[in-house]
Amino acid sequence: MPDTPTVPTLADRPATAPAAAPAKIAIRGLVKSFGPKRVLRGLDLDVPEGRSLVVIGGSGSGKSVLIKSVLGIVPPDAGSIRVDGQELVGASRADLDRARRKFGMLFQGAALFDSLPVWENVAFGLLARRLVDRREARERAIATLARVGLGPEAADLYPAELSGGMQKRVGLARAIAAEPEILFFDEPTTGLDPIMADVINELIRDLVSELGATALSITHDMASVRKIAHRVAMLYEGKIIWEGPVERLDDSGNPYVDQFVHGRAHGPIKVGVERNG
């Protein structure tokens, strides 16, 4: 997929947060194994408030496990995850649920609830927390759908009736419906054609800056990285081996990052046959 240098990237915009913003998410020494397979091996990562950080890494490098650990879906074996200073590892259910109210998540396959129409999907978080009644929820859902470029006629469709790109948009609408402080994106462009991928990337970029949200994404799509990232971190063998602003991606001085960014089969990263992590 070719780069699109004419389109401004997030890095070209004036940053809403100061350069040394406090860490919204601070991860220290995160360890997670599945049986004998050590996926995360003492991972450290900070996501500054109001910035968009993208974690890159090969398939099976543990990117998904990282994001699911922060969301509290996969309990880590050891380490610390703090959101706004609050420790999430080992937190009670109630504390985790409270922290999750700050979160919005776009899943790789959109993960829409296929038994519910689009509007109920979008308003699910609002209805679950009883912030609104059903009539108001529907109005909020339609307003949110408009933000991702979908008309009110989409509201009563079911997820199975939507194309992949539309499902991603609805998933995005569901993620932002409760105006979260932190957004997570899991491979947001996977399975989309290059044009639709670019549309989704632009939507993500615009919504993140409109909401002033902190974003943590994982992807291996370099076009997506260049479009949606302020900062980039590279995950390799369970650790962050490089982290820096997106402008430094091409002269990182790190042979692993170079190999990944340029998509070379040969280099320090040895590609084995691994199960997807």
Partner 1 sequence: MSLLAAIGRATLALLSTVGAVVLFALRAVASGLTGRLYWRQLGRQILEMGYFSLPVVGLTAVFTGMVLALQSYTGFARFEAQNAIPTIVVLSMTRELGPVLAGLMVAGRVGASIAAELGTMRVTEQIDALTTLATDPLRYLVFPRLLAGTLMLPALVLVADVIGVMGGWLVSVYKLGFGPIEYINRSFEHLETQDVVSGLVKAAVFGFLLTLMGCYHGYRSRGGAQGVGAATTRAVVSASILILIANYVVTELFFAR
Residues that bind partner 1 (CB under 8 A): 68, 71-73, 97, 100-101, 103-105, 107-109, 111-114, 124-125, 128-129, 174, 184
Q: Which one, of 277, 261, 178, lies nearest residue 225 by Cα? A: 261
Residue 109 or 268: the one with the smaller Cβ distance to partner 1 is 109
Residue 126 or 257: the one with the smaller Cβ distance to partner 1 is 126
b/e sequence 43-68, b meaning 16+ C-beta within 10 Å: bebbbbbbbbbbbbbbebbbbbbbbb
CB of 129 to partner 1, least distance (A): 6
DSSP string over 71-122: HTSS--SEEEEEETTEE-TT--HHHHHHHHTTEEEE-TT----TTS-HHHHH
Residue 93 or 270: the one with the smaller Cβ distance to partner 1 is 93
Residue 101 or 262: the one with the smaller Cβ distance to partner 1 is 101
Question: C-alpha dihedral over 187, 173, 15, 72, to 10 degrees?
Answer: -60
CB of 208 to partner 1, least distance (A): 17
Residue 21 or 131: the one with the smaller Cβ distance to partner 1 is 131
CB of 252 to partner 1, least distance (A): 32
User: How many contiguous H segments (helices) and E segments (strands) does the chain have?
Assistant: 9, 10
CB of 167 to partner 1, least distance (A): 11
Q: Tokens 């397979």 — which residue?
A: 37
**Is residue 147 a contact partner of residue 158, using CB atoms and an 8 Å limit?**
no
CB of 71 to partner 1, least distance (A): 6
